[in-house]
Amino acid sequence: MNDAMDLRARNKQATREAISHAALRLALEQGPHGLALVRVHDIATAAGVSPRTYNNYFSSREEAICAFQADQSRRAGQALRSRPGDEPLDQAVVAAMVELYTDPEPDKAGLRMIMSTPELEGEALKAFSMAEGPLAEAIAARTGTDPRRDLFPAVTAAAIAGAIRVAGRAWLEPGNTESFATVLRRALSCVVPAAPPEG
């Protein structure tokens, strides 16, 4: 079989998603204050696998819960590359990130769980920061800068990831009525220049 993904790989990804989905669902049931009550055994059972299999995929509850967010961040580089090459950097970044993070509009409860549960803070930061590497490469390619000589790509990528995080926090703020796309645009406009500084 020469599929893009053979049966093995598809099953693997399916169980991975089943586990991470189950983990997030159970965490949501207990709320942000009862995370300790979500036992590994429960996650595994809910996902239809053994506890031992669960941590063939994840080495902590936190990792499983945040896996979806992490997977999404990993696509940031590709999202930016899919923008037309002659588009200015700032517009390309905004368009790419808005498309990536608002298609569909994110699940408010899930995002709130991830972003405002203290025990998940480390994993949440890891999840968002997974975008930085690929993003930096994409920015370097687009602006023709050498990531090893110039700090601009990596710094900008980190700034973008940070802006996305802050936008998430603001969007979750009680009383906020704007769409995530709107908030995200405002946040990104604070940090992304149209071109790297000459030098």
Positions that interact with DNA (CB under 7 A): 1, 6-9, 11-12, 15, 39-41, 49-53, 55-57, 59-61
Least distance in Å: CB of 125 to DNA? 18
Site track for a copy of itself across 147-166, x = CB under 8 A: ----xx-xxx-xx-xxx-xx
Contacted by 4, from DNA, a copy of itself, none: CB < 5 to 8 Å by type: none
Cβ of 116: how many Cβ atoms within 10 Å? 14
125 binds a copy of itself (CB under 8 A): yes
Give the binding range for a copy of itself (CB under 8 A) out of 13-21, 41-49, 108-116, 124-132. Answer: 124-132
User: Do residues 80 and 96 make contact, with C-beta atoms less than 8 angstroms apart?
Assistant: yes
Helical segments of the chain, H only: 7-30, 40-47, 51-57, 61-65, 67-74, 76-81, 89-101, 108-115, 121-129, 132-143, 152-172, 180-188
Contacted by 123, from DNA, a copy of itself, none: CB < 5 to 8 Å by type: a copy of itself
Least distance in Å: CB of 167 to a copy of itself? 7
User: Do residues 98 and 13 make contact, with C-beta atoms less than 8 angstroms apart?
Assistant: no
User: Can you tell me the distance from the alpha carbon of 93 to that of 100, in angstroms, rounded to the nearest whole number?
Assistant: 10
Least distance in Å: CB of 7 to a copy of itself? 31
Close Cβ partners of 161 (under 8 Å, ≥ 6 residues apart): 73, 76, 128, 129, 131, 132, 135
Least distance in Å: CB of 39 to DNA? 4
Site residues (vs a copy of itself, CB under 8 A)? 121-123, 125-126, 129, 132, 151-152, 154-156, 158-159, 161-163, 165-167, 169-170, 183, 186-187, 189-191, 196-197
